[in-house]
Structure 1
Amino acid sequence: MPSPGKRQPRKAAPAAAVAGVPAAAIKRGTTAVDLRIYRAVVNAVMSHRLPPGTHLGEADFCELYQVSRTTVRKALQRLAHDHIIELRPNRGAVIASPTPEQARDIFAARRAIEREIVPLVIRHATPASLKQIRAALHAEDQARRTGDRAGWIRLGGEFHLLLAELAGNQVLQRFMAELVSRCSLIIALYETPGAPMCENDEHQDLATLIEQGKVKEATHLIEHHLQEIEARLHLNEQDKKVNLAEALSGF
């Protein structure tokens, strides 16, 4: 583990605001550099800039971040633990490539988790939390209207992570951090290129139901929303060559 002296402060930005890495997912002893590499890869995955199967060379990370291989390996181990990458013998690290069966299992797990999250969000709703939800939707809508597809996709995932944070259950939040990243991998692998990950209107409708305290309707909508995303998937694996420096630029 990295030196405790370099531990990230516990007082940080809200979970959904830290690039898809909730506070509950940040392990003790994580250094700033470890976390930067981890966030960069998660961000690139959620934005579909690093598709499944992409090789992640240790030397590339060392050059990009001016760090040792030891530091890079610690970040890669965390990513492997969270199922974002796979560490393969004789090939090194690659972005994970979930099978169709795994994809169905992951979406089923996510529906089960989010069915529990939505009622908790409503139960714990405050003017401040509802304001956070609307702010997240505004950011998502801005990205859509300005043509920032990568940002739009990432913010769509972060909207779901924000709900997990507002539910007030750190265990569910930790599960969601993994599930959202794994769903982004699945979508990058199996969805028709150019299709949106989340329809912003459904997020808006969900926010309205949360504000109105309609538990049954909101729970039904989140389940339908996730079923619609899964229904758009196909099994034609995309084989893309990716420049790691370009994919991680800006993170």
Structure 2
Amino acid sequence: MNNLMPHPDQPERNVLASLSLPGRAGKPSVDDIYPRIFDAILEQRIAPASRFTEESLGDVFGVSRSIIRRVLARLSHQQVVILRPNHRPQVAAPDLEQTRQILHARRLAEQTLVRLACKAPQPKDLQRLRDLIERERQCLDRGERGPAIRLSGEFHLQLATMAGNAPLAQFLGNLVPLTSLALARHEIKSRRHCAWQEHLAIVDAMERGSVDQALQLMSEHLDHLEQKLLMAAGTGTSK
């Protein structure tokens, strides 16, 4: 588990500085701060020895501890951060069996969600998916791996929203962030991530009304993800 507590070393201060929102007018909101902290976790800038408190994070963003608590509660709800009474927050570290179960549950959920989303996709919803794909691609071009992984997950969550089944979308919302965390820990950093191309192919199939092809493409996409993560987690390598 990775801890978030204060640490006096210079590298820790550099991590805190990198989380800030320079040049922003006014107080940042929970929605502003959440991706900054999540990206730092995904990029492993918040490393196993990194330690922060609500107070230190509040100082970085210039907000109250109550705002930081809401951010951490959101990450806790997604099971990315573990919160326990009288303990400092910890970053979750899914093991091989947890990763296997998460991916199996995602496969069951997403096949149904894709089928539902394909019934009558609205142009504005398809454009939201394309916008996420483009932002993911741009992040990869800039070498911003953490934000790219987060945006890749948001693609799946947006698709779930399109399906119009709130309980199923909420269920997926508890699985995707953990998958992102596992991906960040194990994926080869030098390898170009191919998720955005696979996402784009799925949207193209949905736009054509090709339900069977969209389902097949999603299945293949999840196959690739599972092979990559389970192989890496099983061998202990960053593959």
Q: TM-score, normalised to structure 1's length?
A: 0.69
Q: For the Cα contact (< 8 Å) 1:53–1:94, is it kept in 2?
A: no
| Mean CA deviation greater in 139-148 or 157-166 | 139-148
Do the aligned partners of residues 52 and 168 (structure 1) sit closer, same or farther apart at CA in structure 2, a change above 3 Å counting?
farther
Q: For the Cα contact (< 8 Å) 1:143–1:151, is it kept in 2?
A: yes
Do the aligned partners of residues 59 and 189 (structure 1) sit closer, same or farther apart at CA in structure 2, a change above 3 Å counting?
same
Residue 90 of structure 1: how far off its partner (Å): 7.2
Q: For the Cα contact (< 8 Å) 2:146–2:184, is it kept in 1?
A: no
Q: Is 2:163 the partner of 1:167?
A: yes
Deviations, residues 56-115 of structure 1 (Å, cap 9, x unaligned): 433321321334445534543443232111236776112111111101111111111111
Across the aligned residues of Structure 1 and Structure 2, the Cα RMSD in angstroms comes to: 3.0
Q: For the Cα contact (< 8 Å) 1:38–1:75, is it kept in 2?
A: yes
Q: For the Cα contact (< 8 Å) 2:76–2:82, is it kept in 1?
A: yes
Q: Is 2:228 the partner of 1:232?
A: yes
User: Within 5 Å, which residues of 2 pair with 1:178-193?
Assistant: 178-193=174-189
Which residue of 2 is the match for residue 158 of structure 1? 154
Q: Is 2:207 the partner of 1:214?
A: no
Aligned residues, how many? 208
CA distance in structure 1 between the aligned counterparts of 2:195 and 2:50, rounded to whole angstroms: 27
Report the AA paired with residue 184 of structure 1: S
Relative contact order (alpha carbons < 8 A, sep ≥ 6): 1 or 2 greater?
1
Q: Which runs of 5+ in 1 are unaligned?
A: 1-31, 239-251
Q: TM-score, normalised to structure 2's length?
A: 0.72
Do the aligned partners of residues 172 and 87 (structure 1) sit closer, same or farther apart at CA in structure 2, a change above 3 Å counting?
same
Report the AA paired with residue 143 of structure 1: C
Q: Is 2:116 the partner of 1:136?
A: no
Which residue of 2 is the match for residue 7 of structure 1? none
Q: Is 2:168 the partner of 1:177?
A: no
Do the aligned partners of residues 127 and 59 (structure 1) sit closer, same or farther apart at CA in structure 2, a change above 3 Å counting?
closer
Which residue of 2 is the match for residue 29 of structure 1? none
Percent identity between the two aligned chains: 34
Do the aligned partners of residues 75 and 237 (structure 1) sit closer, same or farther apart at CA in structure 2, a change above 3 Å counting?
farther
Report the AA paired with residue 57 of structure 1: T
Report the AA paired with residue 212 of structure 1: R
CA distance in structure 1 between the aligned counterparts of 2:91 and 2:218, rounded to whole angstroms: 28
CA distance in structure 2 between the aligned counterparts of 1:35 and 1:138, rounded to whole angstroms: 20
Which residue of 2 is the match for residue 107 of structure 1? 103
